[in-house]
Structure 1
Amino acid sequence: MADKLKFALALILIAAGVAGFYLLSEQVLVLRVLVVLAGVIAGASIAWFTEPGRRFAVFLRETVVETKKVVWPTRKETVQMTGIVFAFVVAMAVFLWVTDKSLEWVLYDIVLGWK
């Protein structure tokens, strides 16, 4: 029950920050943005101490560990794969254009007789 209250308070703080942005519409934009950031930071810090917040922290740590296990492609591999994708997109565009124009010719010129 305490976690639900903490989480509700966190949501209220975030909503208050967003509401403050609009209530301070005549103020400098920097102040308005700081109010939103303060609301988000306050809400996140309270939510951090709930059980779902702790599970989220564990999830973030596990995510960082898994990201470090990834074998990232080299620059050369990235450029090659990008070139292959680009060539495929161009080939498909040409194929679809030729198909479209062929169907247009068959339907309008041959079948319907519109020239």
Structure 2
Amino acid sequence: MSIVRDNQETSKSFDKIKWFFVFVLVALIVWGNFYFSEPDAVYQPGTIIRIVGVVVLSALTLLLAMTTNKGKSFITFAKESRMEVRKVVWPTRKETIQTTLLIAVITIVVGLCLWGLDTFFFWGISKLTVLGH
């Protein structure tokens, strides 16, 4: 029992170290993107360095983050979500068009009813107040 607890504590502390390096890499990406963004007159090697650096450091950062417990649970969640999306039965084109038209008609009818009520109440209040003179 104590060995399992020690392994969990070691894993948690190792995850904290990994997350620290993830944040350091993100800060390095932001700093490098800013530092190499100065345009040169003729040739801009900073742009190439910036693009390659951002892509490589981003990939390293994602790989490091995915080795943590949270990263592994995210990967599991993404796989399960993909499986669930495959189970969804999507409506046909005809059903989609019919539903869209029905919603549009209902929206127009409700809008006209509200406009009529608003006009009626405005007319009634204007007759009862100074606005009717």
- Residues 1:92 and 1:20: Cα distance change in structure 2 (over 3 Å): farther
Alignment gaps of 5+ in structure 1: none
Looking at structure 2, the residues matched to 33 and 104 of structure 1 have their Cα atoms a distance apart, in angstroms, of 62
Output aligned runs, 1:6-85, within 5 Å. Answer: 6-27=18-39, 35-85=53-103
**Greater RCO (Cα-Cα under 8 Å, separation 6 or more):** 1
Alignment gaps of 5+ in structure 2: 1-12
Q: How many residues align?
A: 114
TM-score calculated relative to the size of structure 1: 0.81
Identity percentage of aligned residues:
30
The amino acid that maps onto 1:90 is I
Is the CA contact 1:15–1:39 (under 8 Å) kept in the aligned structure 2? Answer: no
What RMSD in Å do the two structures reach over aligned CA positions? 2.3
Does residue 91 of the first structure (1) align with residue 91 of the second (2)?
A: no
How far has the Cα of 1:75 moved from its partner? 0.8
Looking at structure 2, the residues matched to 97 and 39 of structure 1 have their Cα atoms a distance apart, in angstroms, of 57
TM-score calculated relative to the size of structure 2: 0.71
Q: Give per-residue Cα distances to partners, 1:27-85, cap 9 Å, x unaligned.
A: 47x65566554443332111011111011101111001111111111111111111111
